[in-house]
Each structure stands twice: as C-alpha cells, then as structure tokens.
Structure 1
C-alpha cells in the first residue's frame, strides 16, 4: 500500500524489563492481522525512556515520515501522563516533542483524560508541529479504547486523510462508544 500510515506506539509501563505482552500489544497485533495496519511498539517506564524512544524514531528510523499516528498509551490524570510515579503535564510533553511532530496525529489511549481548552490545545499543536491531538474525556475503565474505538479510528484514518470525515464516520459507526468514552479531536 503506497499511502500506508504506520502507527508508532509508546506505552508507559511499570518496568520495561517485564516482557509480558500487554493489552495494547495484543490490540496492535490484531490491527496488523485483521486490517494490515503496521505499527512499532515501544515501552518506557521513565521520561528519559520516552525521550530516548522518540529520538531513536526521529533520528534512526528512515521510515519516520510514514508514522502518521503517534499513539501514547500511558496512564495518568487529566492532561498529565504518569511515568515512574511522576506526573508530566501536557505542556511538558509538548516541550519534549518540540518541533518533532510535524504533520503527525498524537493520540492518547483512554488511560487518562484529555480535556484541553482552546489555548492549551493550540499551544500543544504550535510547539510540537502536530496536525492534531486526540484522546478521551473519560477513562471509563471497563472498556480499553485500544480494543475498540482506537482500532476503528486508526482504520478509518488509514482510508481517509480528512480528519473531519474520519471523526464523522467514527461517530456514525461507533456513536455509543464515542459518547461513553467522550472521543475528542483538537486540530
């Protein structure tokens, strides 16, 4: 597929030395098998590990331009991620990604709430260069977003570059889940 859009997933875990496959890994494998969408999955347990994985992707992976979705599966609280029992704000994440995400979609799994006001969203987009940031206003923990709605979002985006149409299709096909998890897209 000439216009295939790859996914680069960074998953926050308690210990990177624990190689037990996570739910996110299983979801990405299903996405590859069922829909042919390729991804790279890296784990990190510290902010330094996140930065190192990002730098390897940016400076050593010659296919970086093909990774249109940066998928962050990290626990946390509203507009924060948690790594090694330390919370990093959305502003700190933006500064870490400064200028490195040109044209990318940064997508957060529903392990944390993403509830940005217009100013916060614009700051993140301006600093990172990202095309959009997406996530969920609810961490409804009985449903992991990666098993359902994230896969649908990634699949729809694979077929269509128009984010407005993708979100419209997502809501049309998965309305109840979109409302339950409060899917959000900032652009």
Structure 2
C-alpha cells in the first residue's frame, strides 16, 4: 500500500541521552507495519531541543511537505507545554514556528490537556499557518490517547477533509472521544 500520510512525532522525555522504547514508539511502529503510515520519531527535553528537531525537519528533510501531521507527546495543560519543568505558552511556540507549519495538523496526545480559547486557537493557527490543532480536553492517569491517536492518524489514509475525519473518529470510537474530550481547532 502506498502511504500518503506521514507523521513527525516529537516526544518530551526527562533526558534525551537515556535511550528507551516508549509506548509512543511502539504505536508508531504498529502504524507502520499494519497500515504503512510513515513516521519520524524524535525526543526532546528542552525548548531548544524542540526547536532544533522541528527546524531539522523543516530545513533538512526534503520530504517535509509530505508530513501532514506533527504529533506532540508532551506534558502540560491548557495553553502551555512543559519541558524539563519549564512551562511555555502555545503563543511562544507559535512564534518559534511562525509561518512554518503551513497546511500541517498539529496533534497533541492527552499527556497534555489542550484547552484553548477561540482567540488563542486562532492566533496559533494564524501565526504558524497550521491547518488545524487537535488534542484532548481531559487527562486520565490510567488512560492514554494512543489508541484514539492511531485511529485518528489512520483515517487520514482514507480522506483529507478534517471535519469528516473527526466525525468518523467519533462514529468509530464515540465513548473514548467523549471520555478524553477530543478537540479540534481549525
């Protein structure tokens, strides 16, 4: 199967020098084996590491235009992300990548609750050029969004309309979408 969905995953870890296989890596490998969805996985432990990883993708990877989804697995809440015990607002992140995310979908795993006001969401989309931002409004200690994330990513193989994708996601797994409070800002 020819894949046209590409994912760039950036996971925040306590120390990038510690090598371990996370649940995220296993899920990305499963997506690759079962559905042929290509991904690049990187870790970061600082804002500089996050910026360096995304800049590397932007300026050194000639296939960047193929990456439709930027998948963030980071701690945080509301309008912030947390890296190495420092909090950064999504406005700060937007300014780091001003105009560089044109047409991309930025998806946050439920390690970080995504709760943006309409103005915050619009600012982020306008500044980065992203097509949409998605994530979850609820965080549960014992439930990760990984199975819902995988389903969400796989739906991009079948169609391009983000609204239809989200509707189908809810049809296929309504209970988990409701429990984790799946959100889309576009």
TM-score of the aligned structures, taking structure 2 as reference length: 0.97
Distance in 2, matches of 1:123 and 1:2, equals: 35
1:30-84 alpha-carbon deviations (Å, 9 max, x no partner): 1111111110000000000000001110000000000000000001122211111
Distance in 1, matches of 2:94 and 2:55, equals: 14
Distance in 1, matches of 2:16 and 2:110, equals: 21
State the shift of 1:2 in Å.
Answer: 5.8
Distance in 2, matches of 1:93 and 1:34, equals: 33
1:31-180 → structure 2 map (5 Å cutoff): 31-146=31-146, 148-180=147-179
Distance in 2, matches of 1:47 and 1:79, equals: 15
Distance in 2, matches of 1:26 and 1:150, equals: 13
Distance in 2, matches of 1:127 and 1:159, equals: 29
Local SS of the residue matching 1:158: coil
- The unaligned stretches of length 5 or more in structure 1 are none
State the shift of 1:142 in Å.
Answer: 1.5
Q: 1:8 corresponds to which residue? A: 8
Distance in 1, matches of 2:32 and 2:3, equals: 16
Local SS of the residue matching 2:123: helix
Q: 1:26 corresponds to which residue? A: 26
**Which deviates more, 95-104 or 137-146?**
137-146
TM-score of the aligned structures, taking structure 1 as reference length: 0.97
The number of equivalent residue pairs is 186
- The unaligned stretches of length 5 or more in structure 2 are none
Distance in 2, matches of 1:93 and 1:159, equals: 30
* Aligned residues of 1:12 and 1:75 also touching (Cα < 8 A): yes
Distance in 1, matches of 2:140 and 2:79, equals: 16
Distance in 1, matches of 2:165 and 2:37, equals: 16
1:101-151 alpha-carbon deviations (Å, 9 max, x no partner): 0000000000011011111110000000000000000011211112x1000
Local SS of the residue matching 1:88: strand
